[in-house]
Amino acid sequence: MSTGVPRFGARLAEAIARHGRLCVGIDPHPHLLQAWGLNDDVSGLREFGSRVLEAAMGRVGVIKPQVAFFERRGPAGLAVLAELQQEARREGLLVIADAKRGDIGSTMAGYADAWLAPEAELAADALTVSPYLGFGSLRPALEVARRHGAGLFVLALTSNPEGREVQLARTEDGTVASRIAAQAAAENPAPQIDGALGDVGLVVGATTAGLAEEAGVDLTAGAMPLLAPGFGAQGATAEDLRTGFAEAHRQVVVNSSRGILAAGPDVAALTAAVRRTAEELAD
């Protein structure tokens, strides 16, 4: 690694220890902008992101902007996202850019540079990536992340029903999900201290974690950080998380988007929703 930045897994473990495992999603969906009385334009994006960030600062350690809702407004929308991520990181929050990038060769390296290189305008602490061109296609992103002390979350057992036809498909070496998970785990060195987390993790839906055993996925391998969307509005409860992730529960970062964002547009109400959700998830 060429930078002096502590690696992502160490920073994430510290954030969880300090603030708990809640990750606040920032998803300025058009219907939410309308519900908040904001314009579906760049000014609406900026105001939406600012309010959510204000509610999150000092109360959680991680945010996850959904890139698509900024990208739909073109370069100006991405500029708002860059401002939001930069401010969040200045305030000590970790940023997981939910872009689900996946490609091959120099193209994958280009995506990784755009989202993980520290000098990039869109620099985040971690990026969600898709391995469905083959896990080896992620190699350029793995190299960029390692070089800059950043993290990757690899799609593995996602909560969308369509995902199962691919992720639970069986090969001679097990399910597709189990092979992806094993290869991701292998990217993390053996932890040297108790409670350490790796830099390469998985996206495992809060509602699908219970499928891990059936799919042959060892969620504890490699101390992988596990990003779990689907809490709250999508149906998963804190007890579901404890049961579904079982021994891997300590590795889980729980994303809540709609469940918190529905409390807007008032910042005080958003703040109360953040606090309430964090308390639900407290170990």
Residue 190 CB partners (closer than 8 Å, separation 6+): none
Give kind and range of the element (H or E) at residue 64. Answer: strand 62-65
Residue 204 CA to residue 212 CA, distance in Å, equals 9
What are the backbone dihedrals phi and psi of residue 99, each rounded to the nearest 5 degrees, phi first?
-110, -15
Among the listed residues 100, 179, 242, 250, the single catalytic one is 100
What are the backbone dihedrals phi and psi of residue 227, each rounded to the nearest 5 degrees, phi first?
-90, 120
Asked if 86 and 53 touch (Cβ cutoff 8 Å), the reply is no
What are the backbone dihedrals phi and psi of residue 255, each rounded to the nearest 5 degrees, phi first?
-90, 130
Residue 251 CB partners (closer than 8 Å, separation 6+): 197, 201, 219, 220, 223, 224, 225, 226, 245
Buried b (16+ CB within 10 A) or exposed e, 41-59: ebebbbbbbebbbebbbeb
Residue among 157, 122, 138 nearest 252 (CA): 157
Which DSSP category does 41 fall into?
S
Report helix, strand or coil for 95.
Answer: strand
Confirm whether 64 is a catalytic residue.
no
Catalytic site positions: 100
